[in-house]
Amino acid sequence: MEKTFDWFGSRGVTLRKSGLDREYAGAVEGIEGVELVLLSAGEIPRELASGNIHLGVTGSDLVREKLANWDSQVGELAPMGFGGADLIIAVPQAWVDVDTLDDLDAAAAAFRAKHGFRLRIATKYHRLVREFLREHGVADYQLIDSQGATEGTVKNETAEAIADITSTGDTLRANGLKVLDDGLIHASQATLFRGRRKDWTDEQRKTLKALQTMLAI
Amino acid sequence: MPNSPETRAEARRLRDLFAAQGAQVIEADVLQSAETLLDLYGEDIRARAYLTSDPLRGEMVLRPDFTVPVVQMHMESHADPARYAYAGKVFRKQENDETRANEYMQVGYEVFDGQNPAAADAEVFAVIAEGLARLPVRAATGDIGILTAAVRGLQTTDARKAALLRHIWRPHRFKTLLKRYAGGKVPATRTALLAADDPFANAGSDIGLRSRAEVEARIAALRDDAEQPPISSDEVMLIDAILDLRETTPNVLSHLRDIAVDMPAISDAVARMEARVNALDARGVDVDNLEFEGSYGRTSLEYYDGFVFGFYATKRPDLPPVATGGRYDALTARLGEGRAVPAVGGVIRPDLALGGA
């Protein structure tokens, strides 16, 4: 939140929380007709798509994961240069024979033949991972839902590989994992989005234009 | 439109037409066990079908088609031969195109008869065509069996053939593999792995279910593969020639006979195709103008393994195919617990049959 406030602040639009600390409302100074609502990053894609909010700051990964045909529902106004993290596929370092998706596919085929079930990949990014693997022709895997501590699933033997967000890769290495060479699914960063619903008033469209001019985006 | 009274009336008409061919009319549960479908199709089914959970029965799926329940029903009945007709709704998630229906009627005709596969193929095609007789349609056909026969006949290792066969339904990966086996570039990481004195020097600790022995087995397989001669460029050209076929059936047959001179492994598959063409002709199908595509059916769900076909409304090229079908012998083997029955079938979407008129 602070980084978002700084990003707007350095461009002449002051955002701040109003009232009590626990209240999720805010104030906007420097431009008329803009209101600030504080929502969790995961809810913003859906609220943008439904038109409850007009603009939103959230991770580009969350928009792609949560919205089907995301670019028909929201538009990317500006990547904001922070909150960078990569959605990647990682496998145990002990798999010295697996460095690429091609290897992963071959290992998955052999794994299924030996163990009788598909190689498990733990993730919370089901749509993005599935689309990525389909596009690259990887078969014989299954996705296991993991909403947290995903790096630990391999050690716990609830998954053989993971697809997760990482910024430095330290946690992965500490858990005995390595990133596939061609396993980058999406390089995410905080991004300012607009909803594409058609029911904006002329007033709101003018306000957006004024805001875009101020922000130089 | 997908579920209007007109659509339901058309569905009944088609089902009765199929029943009049001697098919037994059957029903299937809307809720099916997800396990079978997940085992067959993997994660892709989650993108295409509605999965839900039941506290006692585990993961269930709203049937995305009738083929699997019909095969299961047939395998339990031990009737042979058998013909089935059905009409009912199927449910498909539409992740990319909101305008496509996610719940629509399908009317199907399935033949389990190993006596004369060519005649069974022709029968299903002709019966479906008869159901669409009032509609201006264009038919497209293909034969996955010719491609698999060509791959099985390559002068290379069983491991390479198995890898190629596994990716018949993923054209992009198939092409990449074929190129590599034909002497194309190997990833640098693999070259380094095979050159290393101790591949496990930086391996870290063994974690997870995939054991050190499994990793070693794959390295051994990679070493073995690296020593194999490449698949000849002549053979690659023949595979490409089969995939690029796109002509009327008589021309395709003539081409295939030429290819079979250099690749005798496809001779039986070509003979089967010829028998089918004769059977289609005997049923009154205009085979001289019937289109054949070497790659047809490769991007649908991976259960067709022989004859494949689709009918398209000529006035509405924007619509999905009005009818589709094909042979799925391998699916009966996988669902039959050791028993396999030659099977071929097709479905019509009555909503599109009306909409395409």
Which residue of A68, A97, A154 is in closest CB contact with B215? A97
Within chain B, which residue ranges are assigned CATH 3.30.930.10? 1-136+337-357, 138-184+230-313
Q: Residue B350: what pLDDT?
A: 96
Buried b or exposed e, range B238-270, using 16+ CB within 10 angstroms:
bbebbbebeeebeebbebbeebbeebeebbebb
Where does A116-217 have alpha helices with state H? 126-135, 170-174, 202-215
Q: How confident is the model at residue A154 (pLDDT cuts 50, 70, 90)?
A: very high
Q: Residue A138: what pLDDT?
A: 95
Q: Is B157 annotated as belonging to a binding site?
A: no
**A85-188 adopts what CATH topology?**
D-Maltodextrin-Binding Protein; domain 2 (3.40.190)
Tell me the C-alpha distance between B351 and B136, whole Å: 15
Q: Is residue B47 less than 8 Å (CB to CB) from chain A?
A: yes
Q: Residue B94: what pLDDT?
A: 86
Q: Is residue A126 less than 8 Å (CB to CB) from chain B?
A: yes
Q: Is residue B217 less than 8 Å (CB to CB) from chain A?
A: yes
Q: Residue A207: what pLDDT?
A: 95
Q: Residue B137: what pLDDT?
A: 95
Q: Residue B298: what pLDDT?
A: 86
**In CATH, what number does B1-136+337-357 get?**
3.30.930.10
CB half-sphere exposure, B49, CA atoms < 13 A: 28
Q: Do A143 and B172 touch (CB under 8 A)?
A: no
Which residue of A94, A133, A141 is in closest CB contact with B204? A94
Domain A2-83+190-215 coded CATH 3.40.640.10:
no
Q: Is B50 annotated as belonging to a binding site?
A: no
Which residue of B42, B190, B222 is in closest CB contact with A142? B42
Q: Is B13 annotated as belonging to a binding site?
A: no
Q: Residue A168: what pLDDT?
A: 84
pLDDT tens digits for range B328-337: 998 898 888 7
Residue of B36, B39, B43, B194 to mutate for A, most A C-beta atoms under 10 A: B43
Q: With a cut of 50, list the residues of chain B below it in pLDDT.
A: none
Q: Residue A23: what pLDDT?
A: 61
**Cα dihedral B292, B294, B296, B301 sign:** positive
pLDDT at A210 over 90: yes
pLDDT tens digits for range A4-41: 999 999 999 999 887 666 666 788 998 989 999 999 99
Q: How confident is the model at residue A110 (pLDDT cuts 50, 70, 90)?
A: very high
Q: For residue B23, what are its two tokens? A: 């098919």
Residue of A95, A131, A150 to mutate for B, most B C-beta atoms under 10 A: A95
Q: Is residue A116 less than 8 Å (CB to CB) from chain B?
A: no
CA distances from A84 to A79, A215, B51, B303 (A): 10, 20, 33, 42
- pTM here is 0.89
Q: Do B170 and A139 touch (CB under 8 A)?
A: yes
pLDDT tens digits for range A131-149: 999 999 999 999 999 998 9
Cα-based torsion angle of the residue sequence B176, B177, B182, B187 in order, rounded to the nearest 10 degrees? 80
Q: Residue A169: what pLDDT?
A: 85
Q: Is B304 annotated as belonging to a binding site?
A: yes
Q: Do A92 and B42 touch (CB under 8 A)?
A: no
Looking at chain B, which residue has its C-alpha nearest residue A180? B189
Q: Which residues of B touch A109 (CB under 8 A)?
A: 163, 166
- Look-up of token digits 């349609």: B137
Q: Which residues of A touch B176 (CB under 8 A)?
A: 102, 137
Q: Identify the CATH class of B138-184+230-313.
A: alpha beta
Within chain A, which residue ranges are assigned CATH 3.40.190.10? 2-83+190-215, 85-188
Q: Is residue A49 less than 8 Å (CB to CB) from chain B?
A: no
Q: Is B92 annotated as belonging to a binding site?
A: yes
Q: What is the ipTM of this complex?
A: 0.88
Q: Is B328 annotated as belonging to a binding site?
A: no
Q: Residue A104: what pLDDT?
A: 98
Q: Is B312 annotated as belonging to a binding site?
A: no
DSSP state of A215: H
Chain B: give the shortest CA distance to residue A65, in Å. 12
Q: Residue A20: what pLDDT?
A: 65
**Rg, chain B, Cα only:** 23
